[in-house]
Amino acid sequence: MVRGAVQTGPLAYEIRSFERPTVGSDEGLLRIEACGICGSDVEQYRGHLVRPGMFPLIPGHEPLGVIEEVGERAAERWGVSVGDRVAVEILRPCHSCDHCLTGRYMSCPNRDGAYGMTPLSRAPSLWGGFADYLYLHPWAILHKVSKDLPPEIAVMFNPLGAGVRWATMLGEVGLGDTVLILGPGQRGLTSVIAARARGAGTIIVTGLSRDEGKLALAREFGADHTINVEEEDVVARVTEITDGALADVVLELTPIADQPIRDAIECVRHSGRIVLAGLKGGKSVQLVTDRLINKGVTVRGAFGVNAEAYIEAIRIIESGRFPLERMASGTFELADTEAAIQALADGDAIHTCVCPDGGSALAGAVTSREEAADAG
């Protein structure tokens, strides 16, 4: 039997058993090694981001695993064999429409939904990463990853893919650029790594007093300066650090708060670039748009991550150049999926993941439910 951590409603999880699906020529079955957790999982756990009628479902949209079974045609198309380790993208685009054919597959209107968001009622139910196995739909997108890495590190393809896309692709960070990253969460830290890998000059990261540990890690990953926004004025500090030149690129990654958007506009140089990726819960934000015009600023909205960024992220992880294990805050068993999400929601953890078979010995091995409770 196959185990899956099923979300039955807001804040409600239970372990259920499923039949192992049979695999046709165009499909596959993935044995999950690890499934990463991000802010979206926290939102989904609380009952947001999920359309009515979607419960019950198996969440988990950042899966990494080993090909357990693969049909003949699928093996050829994906270029994989049984035993290969792959990362799976969240979306299942059609690969045939104009959007897909011109590289904008994330906008595919015909897509077959998303992993971690497809209800159990749709056969074969195994549509989420918090389970022993994941069904590989013919439209799934897979990326091979080296088997030499611990699963807890390899699974960081997702947050690092975000850092790569936001900093280097949308923000176009280049050699010697000054980069300001507002927010030191999982994706702020991976943006530091991506900007560093791309040859950025000065990297500055902001955070709150409670983010002290994360800011220290940002410095370890290559940030030159960190700013505690509760003690220092961001615009004044950035002006001082850059000697008035300001930032070439600003990444705004903070959730809910709107002051960082105004700070981004003041801290970017003339003709600089701002990437917005911090969701504000749908609220409107007051801005003096004249500032954007007069500074000739390019503002880009960051929607998700694409294959180009995932491939680059996997290369960075495989290079071993950055101590990514420093981001691994906890490995949780399938039965402790809620604790894994809670640990991230509580704010101290940077990256947590669920490993159905227990994961490697990294980060103090498996965190049991009791240990997680002790850790607050």
User: Binding residues for Zn ion, per CB under 5 A?
Assistant: 38, 40, 93-94, 97, 100, 108, 110
Measured from the CB atom, the residue of 187 and 225 that comes closer to Zn ion is 187
Indicate if the alpha-carbon torsion angle 309, 314, 315, 321 is positive or negative: positive
Instruction: Kindly report the number of other CB atoms within 10 A of residue 290's CB atom.
Output: 8
The least CB distance from residue 228 to Zn ion, in Å, is 27
The least CB distance from residue 141 to Zn ion, in Å, is 12
Measured from the CB atom, the residue of 38 and 117 that comes closer to Zn ion is 38
Measured from the CB atom, the residue of 94 and 235 that comes closer to Zn ion is 94
Measured from the CB atom, the residue of 40 and 298 that comes closer to Zn ion is 40
Q: How far apart are CA 182 and CA 7, in angstroms?
A: 32
The least CB distance from residue 287 to Zn ion, in Å, is 28
The least CB distance from residue 90 to Zn ion, in Å, is 7
Cα–Cα distances (Å) from 50 to 54, 58, 65, 119, 200, in that order, read 6, 12, 25, 10, 38
Measured from the CB atom, the residue of 106 and 235 that comes closer to Zn ion is 106
The least CB distance from residue 39 to Zn ion, in Å, is 7
Cα–Cα distances (Å) from 68 to 131, 158, 357, in that order, read 14, 22, 14
The least CB distance from residue 41 to Zn ion, in Å, is 6
The answer to whether 179 and 347 have CB atoms below 8 angstroms apart is: no
Measured from the CB atom, the residue of 54 and 235 that comes closer to Zn ion is 54
The least CB distance from residue 140 to Zn ion, in Å, is 14
Q: Which residues are CB-contacts of 273 (< 8 A; sequence separation ≥ 6)?
A: 170, 171, 172, 248, 249, 250, 297, 298, 299, 300
Cα–Cα distances (Å) from 83 to 3, 28, 33, 86, 152, in that order, read 20, 12, 12, 9, 18
Measured from the CB atom, the residue of 186 and 226 that comes closer to Zn ion is 186
- Return the half-sphere exposure (C-beta side, CA atoms, 13 A cut-off) of residue 144: 11
Q: What angle do CA 151, 157, 163 make, to 5 degrees?
A: 145
